[in-house]
Copies of this chain bind each other. A is one copy, B any other.
């Protein structure tokens, strides 16, 4: 295997490119100590915000806290949900990690916006990381979202203002909801459930686009539609890339025998897996439809090519012999007996029309017309 031959040929590619990140720089950035905390995303909020919700069967409070109040968050007898908005200030994340004894690799995963969806168990807490998608105003917003679940506490990390959890917050406010009587594991489930639901909603949007394209392809085949199909294909592939490890992570969550997951929560987790499977299967269906659409597009192109060539052939085949005949009697030979006949011209027209009609009949018979 003369493998290096190919890699060294790549040099040519590198030389031609100009926009590319300098590879050594990129390598440098990655040349980090494992477990070192670097936020790999961009800053989306002006200031890191710590939102605390505390609830028990009987109480519910909601407040913004400062970094100095972290010590009071975890209390016996009530569940605390600390929501961290904004990941760009490493020291705050570090302090939270120290306060709640979170493993350094968990913190690294939280800060890595390219982190694949993952379920990761540690001694007294577990991490669930995923993408969170939502739509606002005809725009899809995607961000990295992580949940750390411990005894009586759940800490969530998100990059941007706004999330999909208002429904959960409202249910938490209602005194008699099931969610108020359960532990942190159920709250974590409720958050994941909402995230999966939003995944589904967004996938359905793409599904609608795909189905519309399918209908459009019945009428019209423009180059625009090809670009659009390819665009949707790319994005559906991207969503699929999120969903597959997400499903793996939820399977791992289902299999976990962590003490933090109550037995009565298990059916809900199984249900969550069912939903995720449904989402994953929907994506596969849309992918298939997209590929069918591309095939339909190509078939239309070939049909169009056939149509074009049929028109060309019919015209050529009819007129080429006729033109030849006109050419014959345009010759200047001195002795062409037909030229002098009185009815030569009308006879000529008659012959020509007969030839043309028999051509048309031939094409009709071959179903070209």
Give chain B nearest CB distance to A25 CB in angstroms: 9
Q: If the complex has contacts A34-B190, A116-B278, A311-B317, are A333 and B339 also in contact, measured as CB distance less than 8 A?
A: yes
CB distance from A190 to the nearest CB of B (A): 7
Copies assembled: 5
Query: Closest chain B residue to A192 by CB distance?
Result: B34
The distance in angstroms between the C-alpha atoms of A312 and B321, with both chains bound, is 12
Q: Which residues of B contact A335 (CB under 8 A)?
A: 342-345
Q: Are B13 and A308 in contact (CB under 8 A)?
A: no
With A324-B319, A329-B331 given, is the CB distance from A20 to B208 under 8 Å?
A: yes
Are B323 and A197 in contact, CB atoms less than 8 angstroms apart? no
Given contacts A34-B268, A171-B33, A226-B299, A331 and B320 within 8 Å (CB-CB): no
Are A198 and B30 in touch, CB under 8 angstroms? yes
CB atoms of B208 and A277 under 8 A apart = no
Partner of A223, one of B105, B206, B303: B303
A3 touches B142 (CB 8 A): yes
Bitwise interface map of A from 179 to 201 toward B, beta carbon under 8 Å scored 1, else 0: 10000000001100110011011
Q: List 23 A-B contacts (CB under 8 A).
A: A7-B140, A7-B238, A9-B231, A9-B235, A13-B209, A23-B135, A23-B201, A26-B205, A30-B197, A34-B272, A105-B267, A116-B281, A294-B295, A298-B299, A307-B366, A308-B310, A309-B313, A312-B313, A312-B316, A324-B326, A326-B327, A331-B348, A335-B344
A268 touches B322 (CB 8 A): no
Chain A contacts with B in 255-310, Cβ cutoff 8 A: 267-268, 270-272, 274, 277-278, 281-282, 285, 288, 292, 294-299, 301-310
* Complex: A3 Cα to B233 Cα, angstroms: 14
Name the interface residues of A153-184: CB closer than 8 Å to any CB of B.
164, 166-167, 171, 177-179
Judged by a CB distance under 8 angstroms, whether A330 is at the interface is yes
A15 on the B face (CB < 8 A): yes
Q: Is the beta-carbon distance between A122 and B267 smaller than 8 angstroms?
A: yes
Does A58 reach chain B (CB closer than 8 Å)?
Answer: no
Residue of B nearest to A28 (CB): B167
A103 lies within 8 A of chain B by Cβ: yes
- Which of A10, A237, A322, A339 is packed against the most chain B CB atoms within 10 Å? A10
Interchain CB contact (< 8 A) of A13 among B7, B179, B231, B304: B231
Check if B326 sits within 8 Å of A332, measured CB to CB. Answer: no
Q: Given the known A-B contacts A116-B277, A315-B321, are A7 and B268 also in contact in the complex, defined by CB atoms under 8 Å? A: no
- Complex Cα distance, B294 from A140, in Å, reads 29
Residues of B within 8 A of A94 (CB): none
